[in-house]
Chain A
Amino acid sequence: MTLTTEGTTTSPSAAVPLLQADNVTMRFGGLTAVSRVSMTVNEGEILGLIGPNGAGKTTFFNCLTGLYKPTEGQVRLSGVELPPKPRAVVKAGMARTFQNIRLFANMTALENVMVGRYCRTSSGAITSILHGPKFRREEAQTRARAQELLDFVGLGESTDHLARNMPYGNQRRLEIARALATDPKLVLLDEPTAGMNPLETRQASELIFKIRDSGLAVVVIEHDMRFIFSLCDRVLCLVRGETLIVGTPEEVQSDPRVIEAYIGSGTDEDEQDTGDGHEGAASAEDEQDTP
């Protein structure tokens, strides 16, 4: 089982990182949600994106995947600049999941993953109506590939279940399978373990390692620090839309500013800070989730 496409062979042009975001800035009117954030992701790397609520993590994700058009800055995948259109981004090889699960609830697990294959298939209306040889071949391949991906994420038994009938943890897995179906070089996971118990969280990190081992790069947004620090090769911490620090988990973990951003400094500004960081900003992030 491999997840890499023919395009991404293991002859790395080490000079060009897989994903390179330069000075991405996103303003909504007077509010600067993301300010000059740069990020590089190398092939086969797991990068963690952390930060308190409202730090702009999901907004940054939306800028990367074309759901938002960044006010400034640019995003390159394998050295090619990405247009701010979700479909073009998927086609170029970057797929994502959503913070609040956005599966096609009334489709079966298999169908959900088959929809993910849409951009890698090309049967048009006429061959579909005539049931031409191309249609038959592609349909069989799509089905086989979707089943293979369901097996890969551990949902091989749930093929025929409706997405809305599946348990929460499995829905998260299904969303990952759907993203993998687009043959990405890089997957962006937005809080893949939100609301999971410790067992499910451990299974999720095993799955992410498995994806990495099959040759893909992964970017993860998370709040669970233990999860992030055991999983990631590098961690980027965002605070109020700006990069606080990028580094190995050890470096980030021991940086006093990260602790301060999460817990507060304990000085007079304390109340003001937590007020900012939680209530006001949390609602801002909610809005960003539904672009």
Chain B
Amino acid sequence: MMKILTLPPGIVAKYGSKAWPLGLAGAALVILGSLLSWSYDPTILGDLSITFNPGGLQLMAIALALLAVVLLLARKGPLTSLGQWADTAKGLDGLATWTLVFMAMVVVAITVEAGGLINVQPGCWISLLGAIILFASSRLLVSRKTRNLAEALLPGWAEILVIVVIMAGLLFGTAYALNLADGWVLILFLVFVTAVAMSTIRAGLMSWLAHVSLRRKRELILASFAVAFCFPLTQGGSDANMSIAAQVLIFASAAMGLNIVVGLAGLLDLGYIAFLGAGAYVGATLSTSGFATIGWKPPFFVVVIVAACFTATLGLIIGTPTLRVNGDYLAIVTLGFGEIFRLTMFNLDGNNGPDLTHGPNGIPAIPDLYFGSFNFGDTHSLLGIPLSRFSNYYFLLLLLLAFVILVFHRLNTSRIGRGWVAIREDEKAAEAMGVNVFGLKLLAFSTGAFLAGMAGAIKAHVDVSVTPDQYVFLESAFLLAAIVLGGMGTIVGVLVGSVILKLLPEKLRFFADYRLLLFGLLLVVMMRFRPEGLVASRRRQLEFHEEDEDLAVRVEGDIAEEVAG
């Protein structure tokens, strides 16, 4: 990221000493303003109109200001022991920039929602002024050299505590965000999250977290799973958010499967949604729906395996001739395959062929799953909290996602994963060193198809009906966009990307009409400034920055740490 608005060194040298008190004053103004009323209208953006009773947005502004105070005190003052590890100037730079964006957007939001600039109360202007002063102060601070964060060791319990706090923040942040009815507040909340994230990343604390997560891998995985498991409990039996969450999980499972093909093996597949669709159709036709066209009704886990094997075979059949071509050609061939799948499903209606799929009508009324006496359609209760239909499916899909991630991770860190990296690096050299290039590509293709088949079989039951128009090219493009946006070849990145791409259009209805335009813009911006994605895989980052020698030196240790496992 570039440093916005860099001041000439002369000014920095002259006024540099004023930066610290200036920053504290700015932060104090933001807090003071947030305690006052921001808007005349109590009905918009949560209630921001009562003095000394801050609403959600005002609390966010206060939190940002307090974070700025911590960073400033780490630079000079009681917290300097922290300051020797973190680059406070860069951290404050990121924080102040985004705090300013936050306050500016608040002004815009109040103006738009309440119908005029006149509705903005002095409290809001004071906070905006504070943000501007904070921003100016951050321009005047000079970056300092910090100690190597790999040496920053906390006692074990403290590291675990940090993980727990972050995970709890994640859980409650997500629950809070999902319950926000107002689009503006949600966007501002995302800006707030970005501000916190940018300041920790730029201060270098994120790389400390990366070291901790390598050291505490087991605890971290356990904690993430626990948080994901607890999420339905925060929803109090409401299905509104859980249905979105279930869709996000299906989307994330499919994206993670595609990530094996695109992120690990480096094959551009634009027809991946066809495998999800094939799995869904197998799941539907073998279900007990009255519209199912095949008489065989095996238990569900058999259906999942049949669907997965069917799509994996489909992957092999498609892959064998097409994987001999590379890059753009492969993309076009897979794109064509995706369309062939959709049109085939559209036409197997009894008029043009055997009646397998009921053509455009699809297969409706797919009944809910049941394991023994546990019916997924019923509401069950856990610890007194009711868990409805979508929560039940959520748990099942969580298991699926965990399985997909396990497959992804274990393949990535095996001999096969090394082979894939070698193919991406230099296909000819890999071949000349005895790597089975074609076999490994085919393996990636069919493993991805296998996982999509499993996800599809479950999706059929979650969605109740399966129709061809659910599996159009656009869905493949979205899956790919989630990977590119999040970070090819990473687990966390693709999860983040899936959540962003699936959740935002659901929550921000007003933005749904423009989502293609906005995602297109977002991708263009990403390609310009951060082609490796939000969460970069170290190796991918290197591949995207072939010329950057500094980067190569910096990440060398991280990669070696990953290799050592």
List A residues at the B interface (Cβ < 8 Å). Answer: 65, 67, 86-87, 90-91, 95-96, 98, 102-108, 110-111, 114-121, 123, 125, 128-131, 135, 138-139, 142, 159-162, 164-165, 178-179, 182, 290-291
Interchain CB contact under 8 A, B406 and A86: no
Determine the residue in chain B with the shortest Cβ distance to A160. Answer: B560
Interchain CB contact under 8 A, A111 and B563: yes
Within 8 A of A (CB), among B542-560: 542-543, 549, 552-553, 556-557, 559-560
Segment at the interface with A among B299-307, B335-343, B410-418: B410-418
Complex Cα–Cα for A165 and B546 (A): 12
Q: A102-B426, A165-B556 are in contact. Are A119 and B435 (CB under 8 A)?
A: yes
- Chain B residue numbers with a CB within 8 Å of A65 are 432
Interchain CB contact under 8 A, B433 and A90: yes
Determine the residue in chain A with the shortest Cβ distance to B447. Answer: A125
Question: Closest 4 CB pairs between A and B?
Answer: A119-B434, A160-B560, A90-B434, A128-B414
Interchain CB contact under 8 A, A86 and B432: yes
Q: Is B422 located at the chain interface by the 8 A CB criterion? A: yes
- Chain A residue numbers with a CB within 8 Å of B435 are 87, 115, 118-119
A128 CB, min distance to chain B CBs, angstroms = 4
Interchain CB contact under 8 A, B434 and A87: yes
Interchain CB contact under 8 A, B433 and A128: no
B136 CB, min distance to chain A CBs, angstroms = 40
Q: A105-B425, A114-B418, A139-B415 are in contact. Are A162 and B552 (CB under 8 A)?
A: yes
Interchain CB contact under 8 A, A118 and B433: yes
Complex Cα–Cα for A290 and B426 (A): 11
- Chain B residue numbers with a CB within 8 Å of A95 are 433-434
Interchain CB contact under 8 A, A104 and B414: no
Majority-rule SS of B interface residues: helix
Q: A90-B432, A90-B434, A98-B429 are in contact. Are A123 and B415 (CB under 8 A)?
A: yes
Q: A115-B433, A160-B557 are in contact. Are A128 and B563 (CB under 8 A)?
A: no
Interchain CB contact under 8 A, A104 and B426: yes
Question: Chain B 324-348 against A: per-residue CB contact (8 Å), 1 yes, 0 no?
Answer: 0000000000000000000000000
> Can you list 17 A-B contacts (CB < 8 A)?
A67-B428, A90-B434, A103-B426, A104-B426, A105-B425, A106-B542, A107-B422, A119-B435, A130-B410, A138-B415, A160-B556, A161-B560, A162-B542, A162-B559, A164-B542, A165-B549, A178-B433
Interchain CB contact under 8 A, A115 and B430: yes
Within 8 A of A (CB), among B377-427: 406-407, 410-411, 414-416, 418-419, 421-422, 425-426
Task: List 17 other contacts, CB 8 Å, given A96-B432, A108-B563.
Answer: A90-B433, A91-B434, A103-B426, A106-B425, A107-B421, A111-B421, A111-B563, A114-B415, A117-B415, A118-B422, A129-B410, A139-B414, A142-B415, A160-B556, A160-B560, A161-B556, A164-B552
Interchain CB contact under 8 A, B414 and A123: yes
Complex Cα–Cα for A118 and B432 (A): 11
Q: Is B148 located at the chain interface by the 8 A CB criterion? A: no
* Option from B415, B419, B437, B563 in Cβ contact (under 8 Å) with A160: B563
- Chain A residue numbers with a CB within 8 Å of B422 are 104, 107, 115, 118
Interchain CB contact under 8 A, B410 and A128: yes
- Chain B residue numbers with a CB within 8 Å of A164 are 542, 552
Determine the residue in chain A with the shortest Cβ distance to B422. Answer: A115
* Option from A96, A121, A130, A161 in Cβ contact (under 8 Å) with B415: A121
Within 8 A of A (CB), among B426-480: 426, 428-437, 443, 447
Q: Is B539 located at the chain interface by the 8 A CB criterion? A: yes
Determine the residue in chain B with the shortest Cβ distance to A123. Answer: B415
Complex Cα–Cα for A95 and B435 (A): 12
Determine the residue in chain B with the shortest Cβ distance to A163. Answer: B425
- Chain A residue numbers with a CB within 8 Å of B431 are 86-87
Interchain CB contact under 8 A, B428 and A102: yes
B403 CB, min distance to chain A CBs, angstroms = 10
Complex Cα–Cα for A281 and B415 (A): 41
Determine the residue in chain A with the shortest Cβ distance to B438. Answer: A87
Complex Cα–Cα for A138 and B416 (A): 12
Interchain CB contact under 8 A, A131 and B410: yes
Complex Cα–Cα for A290 and B414 (A): 29
Interchain CB contact under 8 A, A182 and B556: no
Complex Cα–Cα for A135 and B559 (A): 22
- Chain B residue numbers with a CB within 8 Å of A119 are 433-436
- Chain B residue numbers with a CB within 8 Å of A116 are 433-434
B232 CB, min distance to chain A CBs, angstroms = 28
Complex Cα–Cα for A65 and B419 (A): 20
Q: A67-B428, A86-B431, A87-B434 are in contact. Are A128 and B416 (CB under 8 A)?
A: yes
* Option from B406, B410, B434, B559 in Cβ contact (under 8 Å) with A108: B559
